[in-house]
């Protein structure tokens, strides 16, 4: 989906090299507690994307560079360095919100072999799933449940996804801090958008299988392949088999040129001969800079609201929706008998709580709008497939 023609695209690893000048007679480097006097540092882009891509560009080949960097100082330095060789070179670079750019500190004393201190950074999450259109940029992490960590409207540099301050967490990188799967899930929760399957919400047991919080596929590595990459559209297919039950999930995510919509087509297959039940959903967290108090939530007419009775503390009476009854969207009854409008986001200081919306017809949707920014996002899905067994 390039807006200009490139004969070669160089994609992969990119970093910023920091090379301090080390005097010839310096000895005893890296001794604990010792201050080493060095000269000015040379900075340069490194990695295959920079080294190979810039070489091809200098040879006169129409080249486009593709890689992922963070929105930090190192990331800005990489973009500026590449752009000095040509603005078009950086049109395929992805700057991930909250990500940490890759860098290398090169210790290169005279007459001694070099030492490299390297941080891989956002290169670890760069994959075929980092798809872009002219107006939309979507960052997906196939190695962590196909999480969508960025949904960026490029003309206004406006991201709709909410991310935690921890950034992207790798479940394989450390042991769980808690034996409770509910707490272990949130230890690695980064915000963004997750696939929830084959169960949702709290841990549960089905046919002897003990499911953790929000199922298992949201933290697993998915296989992925690009199935389409043309001027008109790009599509990536993801596949995974669950461990607890014999299911296979297939998901194709696609973007079309000149569109701000993301299309997701999914299929679940029961690989056994036994009928099995499952819960399947999308866990989408919208946030700043798009989301703020006063944003409006729109839903179809005729829906009902059910508050989660397990979501509150018996000693906390600050929740806004009365339990033990059904409410008509959007005006619900509070525990004090007052009317509360759920269609308008309350102040940041308000207590958070979980409610469920029921009564969707075949074609379901919801819309969140920020009138101050003049921006909104709409999610549509086929509700006719919401309840079934496989």
> Is the domain of 260 the same as that of 140?
yes
Q: For position 82, what pLDDT does the model report?
A: 92
> Is the domain of 149 the same as that of 260?
yes
Domain of 354? 292-390
Number of domains in the chain: 3
Q: For position 61, what pLDDT does the model report?
A: 87
pLDDT band at 313 (very low <50, low <70, confident <90, very high): low
pLDDT tens track for 281-292: 999 999 999 999
49 cis-preceded (ω within 30 degrees of 0) = no
> Is the domain of 152 the same as that of 220?
yes
> Is the domain of 148 the same as that of 199?
yes
337 belongs to a structural domain = yes
Q: For position 297, what pLDDT does the model report?
A: 97
Q: For position 259, what pLDDT does the model report?
A: 81
pLDDT band at 95 (very low <50, low <70, confident <90, very high): confident
317 belongs to a structural domain = yes
Distance between CA atoms of residues 242 and 240, nearest Å: 7
> Is the domain of 252 the same as that of 179?
yes
- The whole-model pTM stands at 0.68
Distance between CA atoms of residues 291 and 37, nearest Å: 49
3 belongs to a structural domain = no
Q: Which residues contact 78 (CB under 8 A, 6 or more apart)?
A: 14, 15, 16, 45, 69, 93, 101
- Alpha helix positions (H), 127-166: none
Distance between CA atoms of residues 295 and 374, nearest Å: 10
How large is the average pLDDT for residues 234-249? 93
Q: What is the mean pLDDT of the chain?
A: 85
Mean pLDDT: which of 152-156, 216-220, 343-347, 348-352 is highest?
Answer: 343-347
Position with higher pLDDT, 116 vs 23: 116
Cβ atoms of 159 and 290 closer than 8 Å: yes
Position with higher pLDDT, 314 vs 247: 247
Q: For position 4, what pLDDT does the model report?
A: 45
Q: For position 234, what pLDDT does the model report?
A: 84
> Is the domain of 259 the same as that of 368?
no
> Is the domain of 274 the same as that of 139?
yes
Best CA proximity match to 51, nearest among 82, 83, 90, 84? 82
pLDDT over 50 at 190, yes or no: yes
261 belongs to a structural domain = yes
2 belongs to a structural domain = no
pLDDT tens track for 1-58: 334 456 777 888 999 999 998 877 655 666 777 788 888 999 999 999 999 999 999 9
């Amino acid at each position: 989906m390039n807006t200009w023609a490139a004969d070669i695209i160089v994609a992969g690893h990119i970093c910023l090299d920091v090379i301090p000048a080390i005097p010839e007679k310096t000895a005893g480097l890296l001794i604990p507690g010792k201050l080493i006097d060095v000269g000015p540092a040379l900075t340069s882009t490194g990695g295959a994307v920079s080294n190979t891509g810039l070489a091809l560009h200098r040879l006169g080949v129409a080249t486009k560079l593709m890689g992922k960097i963070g929105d930090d100082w190192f990331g800005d330095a990489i973009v500026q360095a590449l752009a000095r060789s040509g603005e078009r070179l950086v049109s395929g670079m992805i700057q991930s919100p909250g990500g940490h750019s890759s860098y290398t500190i090169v210790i290169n004393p005279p007459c001694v072999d070099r030492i490299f201190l390297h941080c891989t950074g956002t290169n670890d999450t760069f994959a075929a799933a980092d798809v872009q259109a002219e107006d939309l940029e979507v960052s997906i992490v196939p190695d962590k449940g196909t999480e969508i960590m960025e949904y960026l409207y490029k003309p206004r540099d406006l991201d709709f996804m909410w991310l935690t301050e921890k950034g992207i967490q790798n479940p394989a990188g450390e042991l769980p801090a808690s034996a409770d799967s509910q707490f272990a899930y949130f230890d690695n929760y980064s915000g963004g958008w997750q696939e929830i399957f084959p169960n949702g919400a709290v841990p549960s047991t089905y046919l002897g299988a003990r499911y953790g919080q929000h199922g298992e596929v949201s933290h697993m590595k998915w296989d992925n392949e690009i199935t389409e990459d043309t001027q008109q559209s790009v599509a990536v297919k993801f596949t995974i088999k669950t461990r607890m039950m014999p299911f296979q999930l297939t998901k194709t995510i696609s973007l079309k040129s000149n569109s701000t919509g993301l299309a997701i087509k999914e299929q679940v297959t029961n690989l056994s001969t036994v009928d099995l039940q499952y819960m399947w959903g999308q866990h989408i967290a919208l946030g700043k800079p798009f989301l703020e108090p006063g944003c409006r939530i729109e839903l179809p007419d005729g829906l009902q609201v059910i508050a989660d009775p397990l979501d509150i503390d018996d000693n906390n009476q600050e929740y806004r929706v009365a339990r033990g009854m059904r409410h008509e969207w959007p005006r619900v009854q509070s525990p004090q008998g007052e009317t509360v409008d759920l269609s308008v986001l309350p102040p940041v200081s308000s207590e958070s709580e979980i409610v469920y919306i029921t009564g969707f017809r075949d074609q379901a949707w919801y819309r969140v709008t920020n009138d101050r920014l003049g921006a909104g996002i709409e999610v549509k899905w086929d509700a006719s497939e919401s309840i079934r067994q496989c």
